[in-house]
Amino acid sequence: MVAIKISMGAAEKVWYCPTCEEVTKEPVALYQCNECGTTFSRENSADGKSQMCPDCNKVASELIAHGCPDCEEGDECEEVMAVEADGEWIIIKDMVLVQ
């Protein structure tokens, strides 16, 4: 176990993707096409803003509400507390308050 000292205001709520192990501040809704099975975000949809499949242009269903914008896999991101240090995120799993 590693101990680090942080100020209470330094930690923030972020979203952790268990698939690609990236951290994001803004998860995205992911959709899965009912016709061809493609998984995508609204940004990567047929028109860049809807639930239309980019591959077959059919309407897709929402797969998950908090998906990863980096890998767009079908795993739900987990809300965690983390601290950013030197461009890297340190996820806080077990926090002990020391006065």
Does residue 98 have a pLDDT over 90? no
Residue 89: phi and psi, rounded to 5, are -95, 135
Mean pLDDT, residues 47-63 taken together? 95
- Length of the chain (residues): 99
Average pLDDT, rounded, for the chain: 86
Mean pLDDT, residues 3-23 taken together? 80
pTM of this structure: 0.74
Mean pLDDT, residues 59-71 taken together? 92
Residue 69: phi and psi, rounded to 5, are -75, -15
